[in-house]
Amino acid sequence: MDNYMPLITKFRNYLSLIRFSHTVFALPFAFIGFVIAVVHDHHPFQWQLLVKMLLCMVFARSAAMAFNRYLDRSFDAKNPRTTKREIPAGVISPKQALLFAIFSSVLFVVTTWFINAACFWLSFVALFVILFYSYTKRFTALCHIVLGVGLSLSPIGAFLAVTGYFAWLPVLFSLSVLTWVAGFDIIYALQDEEFDRGQQLHSIPAALGVKNALLVSTLLHVGSGIFVIMAGVEGHFSWIYWVGTLIYISLLVYQHMLVKPNDLSKVNMAFGNTNGIASVVFALFTILAILL
């Protein structure tokens, strides 16, 4: 067993590098897109296709996170909040992180090749969006929106993997993801308001201040609630969906109750716990509504 410990440790380090636990944000919405395609749009269920979709999610997110950590390594080394991340702490070298990002990107594109032509050709667009996000903080405060766009591709991508075409219903779920993610990313960025200004990095908190940034985040989350309501109407879902929608919106409201302009002590709770629960619970209720 001792002979395997270095490999296990390295594996854990890479999981930590890409914050694998945060996959819970977008992955449940990918399942929604997949189930809509199979049940709502009456396409045959295929286990192999489901596995390929999951692999695409893992590879794409791994590429995006590893590249982000590689590109931001100098800022992470200066920021007291991020000095313990794997690259500035010396646990993973910049070269290793970059190679991991490249390897994950290749695996993502190759996997889409075995799904369908639409997914393969659009994989380059998706890859550009999720990698380009890492540059955006250097020149625009709209970086949060770009991150939202990247994660919002999950329900559309999963639906496209099954059907090979686009439809309005998964687009509505993607719009809800876009506004939801952008909103909670602004909350997360509140921690680095002063640091971002000092390093001439761009973010909504750095541009507008904490109070106004929270207002923008609130408006985005109102938009997310509207989009999930529109999706429910468009999909003609049962009462089960509306219970999930109520819980989802309640959790969005709750995270804004946790974070105040003069008290940012619960930002991590609002960012991680609340949003992770919101995503999983909403997806479970939505999938049950579609299946039943």
Query: What is the per-residue DSSP string for 35-99?
Result: HIIIIITT----HHHHHHHHHHHHHHHHHHHHHHHHHTHHHHHH-TTTTTSTTTTTSS-HHHHHH
User: 228 is in which domain, residue-wise?
Assistant: 2-291
What is the CATH number for 141?
1.10.357.140
> Is the predicted pLDDT of residue 2 greater than 60, yes or no?
no
More confident residue, 270 or 239: 239
Please say whether the beta carbons of 137 and 74 come within 8 A. Answer: no
> Is the predicted pLDDT of residue 14 greater than 80, yes or no?
no
- Count of structural domains within the chain: 1
Segment 186-190 long-range contacts (CB within 8 Å, at least 24 positions apart): 186/144, 186/213, 186/214, 186/216, 186/217, 186/220, 187/214, 187/217, 187/255, 187/259, 187/267, 187/270, 187/271, 188/267, 188/271, 189/144, 189/213, 190/214, 190/259, 190/264, 190/267
> Is the predicted pLDDT of residue 15 greater than 80, yes or no?
no
> Is the predicted pLDDT of residue 269 greater than 90, yes or no?
no
The reported pLDDT for the residue numbered 156 is: 96
Please say whether the beta carbons of 144 and 214 come within 8 A. Answer: no
The reported pLDDT for the residue numbered 1 is: 47
Q: Secondary structure of the chain: what % helix, strand, coil (to 5)?
A: 80, 0, 20
> Is the predicted pLDDT of residue 272 greater than 80, yes or no?
no
**Secondary structure (3-state) at 260:** strand
| Average pLDDT of the chain to the nearest whole number | 92
Region 211-239 average pLDDT: 97
> Is the predicted pLDDT of residue 219 greater than 60, yes or no?
yes
Q: Would you call 177 exposed, middle or buried from its count of C-beta atoms within 10 A (0-12, 13-18, 19+)?
A: buried
**Poorest-confidence range of 154-158, 176-180, 218-222, 265-269?**
265-269
Tell me the pLDDT band of 286, cut-offs 50, 70 and 90: very high
- In this prediction the pTM is 0.93
> Is the predicted pLDDT of residue 21 greater than 90, yes or no?
no
The reported pLDDT for the residue numbered 264 is: 87
Region 4-8 average pLDDT: 59
Q: What is the pLDDT of residues 274-283, one digit of tens each?
A: 898 999 999 9
- How many Å apart are CA 264 and CA 256, to the nearest integer? 11
